[in-house]
Structure 1
Amino acid sequence: MTKDHGKQIKDDAKYEALRRQGESKEKAARIANSTGASRRGGGASRLEKRTKSELLGEAKKIGITGTHKMNKSRLIDAIRNH
């Protein structure tokens, strides 16, 4: 049985599974709260198909700094490895 993490976590089961796999609390919460978190496969577009300004917005949302100096491929790497 999954623990209820309150309103701040949308998908408690996914959050707990990610924590068991060793993900940080921040990353597990971000993934569990993402749009379509309860759907298999998600609906996010591939990062390569997004514009640089869209990638900058995503990087800002997840707390990556120094992004304006990065080119598109470095932004994609930073987002994927955050």
Structure 2
Amino acid sequence: MDIPSIKNEDQYEALRDKGYSKEKAARIANTKDAGKKGGKAKPYEEWTKEELYEQAKKIGVDGRSKMNKSELIESLRE
């Protein structure tokens, strides 16, 4: 089995240390701009459902098409 490369090793290791599964940590660490800080993003509650869906799609959240806005927020915060 091939192991995919991790774009942001530091973030991957930090997520693994927090107890994230290898798969979830890799998905997050491989998202575009993973690990960049800025503090300028608005809280998820201010995002549209479409924006939340697109973010969930980027990180590979399963079942996102059937989720409502609050479920999308919850899954993105996990």
Per the TM superposition, whether the score is higher than 0.5 is yes
Contact 1:12–1:32 (8 Å) recurs in 2 = yes
Cα offsets for 1:19-72 (capped at 9, x unmatched): 2332111221123223141x345654421121111112222332321533x332
Q: Which residue of the partner structure matches residue 50 of structure 1?
A: 47
Q: Which residue of the partner structure matches residue 9 of structure 2?
A: 12
Mark the CA change 1:25 to 1:43 in structure 2 (over 3 Å): closer, same or farther: farther
Q: Which residue of the partner structure matches residue 64 of structure 1?
A: 62
Question: Which sections of structure 2, spanning at least 5 residues, go unmatched?
Answer: none
RMSD over aligned Cα atoms: 2.8
Mark the CA change 1:14 to 1:47 in structure 2 (over 3 Å): closer, same or farther: same
Using the aligned pairs only, state the percent identity: 49
**Alpha-carbon separation, structure 2, partners of 1:78 and 1:30:** 13
**Alpha-carbon separation, structure 2, partners of 1:7 and 1:67:** 26
Q: Which has the larger radius of gyration?
A: 1
Q: Which secondary structure does the structure 2 equivalent of 1:8 belong to?
A: coil
Question: Which sections of structure 1, spanning at least 5 residues, go unmatched?
Answer: 1-5
The one of the two structures with greater contact order (alpha-carbon pairs below 8 A, sep at least 6) is 2
Mark the CA change 1:71 to 1:11 in structure 2 (over 3 Å): closer, same or farther: closer
